[in-house]
Chains A and B, each alone.
Chain A
């Protein structure tokens, strides 16, 4: 095998050290993915019974309390997975595809096109991420789809840089030279011989970025540029909770959900990195 991956280290502590966070992370992710997939079959608590149920603190009946419209916070928090998880998947997938494609072209072919792509990357990365996302979202108007587009704009250059660096390195290896000598065309060399060896850092980064996307999406919603109120999106729910500041439980549930999801993806990313590429830290 020519690939850069190494045999797994099997010293017990290191082995556990990599596997335990990965297992915890994957468990958390699995829970929320299941929630995102199944929760639509559980009806959202309708905001009807206003009189007796408004702003109730957590109780045996409503584990995370009720909000200003008498809606159950726990049920809305679980429904939030329907927005945050798919958005993270879409944004990361689009950023990896777009950034990976442009980065591979820039790294493999170079030239004027490659230089132009990398200058675009430089300019995009010159903006603080949240400001760029806010500016894009503001010019497209509020809404979850626009927030997603804004986040793709923010994230693709990171993958362009990553993939370009990988391609530049793999391009120089002997097996690529062999493939070229054997008469393979450039596209075939890139797709069959170079890109397959570039995915490890992309996978690790993507795993961590899922969490960061969940965080940024919630932030955009919190400041009013993402999902808008009746949507049970976590950032929008926290923004709603901020209005009823003294009823802390309205914001508590969705905030914990974000924290748990992001922690899960960070754990999983850390574990994956230790497992796949022990050299980097």
Chain B
């Protein structure tokens, strides 16, 4: 196992180099002039301004030169400067990271808790209404376009029913708490500002539920399958014979072991979460990395696109690696070659 992990770890830098190179090619072999997204039409007609802009953004250098500079900068955590915001891409990303993390964490929390509950219920009442209902919910969750379900949810729960606040992280009238963690809910709680806390929490509900829905589906199916597996084993019968109640057998004896295989899908759900976050943030005007990526792509802001893509790949690779490691540790019988 140590050898397997070592090999995976050694492969990481090579994979990252490949990712960085691919991202560089995507950002530099582009149709259309990148200057068009920096300068306006009048400036484009002035050769001096054009030359100055080229020098300023390094566009006058050859491709291999730019690649070498790019790799050197990347190694120091410098993703270049955004065409659109004219700020370092890294700064933009770091500013927006907490908003995305807060959303993704709460979506993951909602998805796992409901997913596990539904999976256990579906396994216990196999082929009953609960099972079919859970299956339908899971199917819809993985089939529905999240940008559309978010729009509809926003309309129904915010506009029509007025139960939840609308887009954004906080009502405009509320002063944001002093930033400590960047998580508005946590920061508000730390500052003791319970009014802001409630408001931030309310804003978090709809996007998290919409984003967590796909995760809920995947997790509930996984838990159901492994619960059905585990429930057939002898030790469950022993527990029952010793007089353990249904709930105790389900949660204390079966679920514990059924959770292990579910670990494998954490990395898998992460891909859904990234995809979903990009679209959910766009609909909910959530000032995170996802909406930043969309704004960058719309404005053909290539340094920003490269930055987001590399960061996304880094997160994705790390999640997959952690999943594999967790899996090996959770189930020592597994031998990875």
A interface vs B, CB < 8 Å? 119, 122-124, 126-132, 134-141, 211, 215, 218-219, 222-225, 235, 238, 241-242, 245-246, 248, 251-252, 254-255, 258-259, 262-263, 266-267, 281
Compute how far the CA of A75 lies from the CA of B229 in the bound complex, rounded to whole angstroms.
48
Q: Is the CB of B312 within 8 A of A128?
A: yes
Compute how far the CA of A259 lies from the CA of B300 in the bound complex, rounded to whole angstroms.
30
Compute how far the CA of A129 lies from the CA of B279 in the bound complex, rounded to whole angstroms.
13
Compute how far the CA of A15 lies from the CA of B307 in the bound complex, rounded to whole angstroms.
50
Q: How many residues of B contact A (CB 8 A)?
A: 50
Given A123-B22, A129-B271, A251-B148, A281 and B225 contact (CB-CB distance below 8 Å): yes
Partner of B145, one of A129, A218, A281: A218
A219 cross-chain contacts in B, Cβ below 8 A: 145, 147, 275, 279
Give 4 closest A-B pairs by Cβ, nearest first. Answer: A255-B148, A123-B18, A262-B143, A128-B274
A158 to B: closest C-beta gap in Å: 12
Q: Is the CB of A140 within 8 A of B31?
A: yes
Partner of A215, one of B27, B145, B159: B145
Partner of A263, one of B27, B140, B294: B140
Q: Is the CB of A238 within 8 A of B147?
A: yes
A-B contact pairs, 22 of them (CB 8 A): A122-B18, A123-B19, A124-B22, A126-B19, A128-B271, A129-B275, A130-B279, A132-B309, A138-B305, A139-B30, A141-B300, A215-B145, A219-B147, A222-B282, A223-B294, A223-B298, A224-B298, A238-B151, A246-B159, A255-B149, A258-B148, A263-B143
Residues of A contacting B: mostly:
helix
Which residue of chain A is the closest to B304 with respect to CB atoms? Answer: A138
Compute how far the CA of A119 lies from the CA of B148 in the bound complex, rounded to whole angstroms.
36
Q: Is the CB of A138 within 8 A of B317?
A: no
Given A126-B15, A127-B312, A255 and B152 contact (CB-CB distance below 8 Å): yes
Q: Is the CB of B305 within 8 A of A122?
A: no
* B278 interfacial contact with A, CB 8 Å: yes
B19 to A: closest C-beta gap in Å: 5
A138 to B: closest C-beta gap in Å: 4
Q: Is the CB of B297 within 8 A of A137?
A: yes
A238 cross-chain contacts in B, Cβ below 8 A: 145, 147-148, 151
B309 cross-chain contacts in A, Cβ below 8 A: 127, 131-132, 134-135
Compute how far the CA of A50 lies from the CA of B27 in the bound complex, rounded to whole angstroms.
42
Between A139, A211, A255, the greatest number of chain B beta carbons within 10 A of the residue's beta carbon is seen for A139
B15 to A: closest C-beta gap in Å: 5
Given A122-B15, A131-B274, A223 and B139 contact (CB-CB distance below 8 Å): no
Which residue of chain B is the closest to A136 with respect to CB atoms? Answer: B26
A150 to B: closest C-beta gap in Å: 10
B81 to A: closest C-beta gap in Å: 17
Q: Is the CB of A138 within 8 A of B297?
A: yes
Encode contact with A along B1-41: 1 for CB under 8 Å, 0 otherwise. Answer: 00000000001000100110011001101111000000000
* B114 interfacial contact with A, CB 8 Å: no
Given A245-B151, A266-B139, A223 and B297 contact (CB-CB distance below 8 Å): yes
Q: Is the CB of B139 within 8 A of A128?
A: no
Compute how far the CA of A245 lies from the CA of B240 in the bound complex, rounded to whole angstroms.
55
Which residue of chain B is the closest to A134 with respect to CB atoms? Answer: B297
Partner of A222, one of B18, B147, B302: B147
A124 cross-chain contacts in B, Cβ below 8 A: 22
Scan residues 281-301 of chain B and give those whose CB is less than 8 A from a CB of chain A. Answer: 282-283, 293-294, 296-298, 300
Compute how far the CA of A254 lies from the CA of B148 in the bound complex, rounded to whole angstroms.
9
B156 to A: closest C-beta gap in Å: 8
A127 to B: closest C-beta gap in Å: 5
* B194 interfacial contact with A, CB 8 Å: no
Contacts A255-B151, A281-B225 given; 17 further ones with Cβ under 8 A?
A124-B22, A134-B293, A134-B294, A134-B305, A138-B30, A138-B305, A141-B31, A219-B145, A222-B282, A223-B279, A223-B294, A224-B297, A238-B147, A242-B147, A245-B151, A248-B151, A263-B140
* B142 interfacial contact with A, CB 8 Å: yes
Which residue of chain B is the closest to A218 with respect to CB atoms? Answer: B145
Encode contact with A along B268-279: 1 for CB under 8 Å, 0 otherwise. Answer: 000100110011
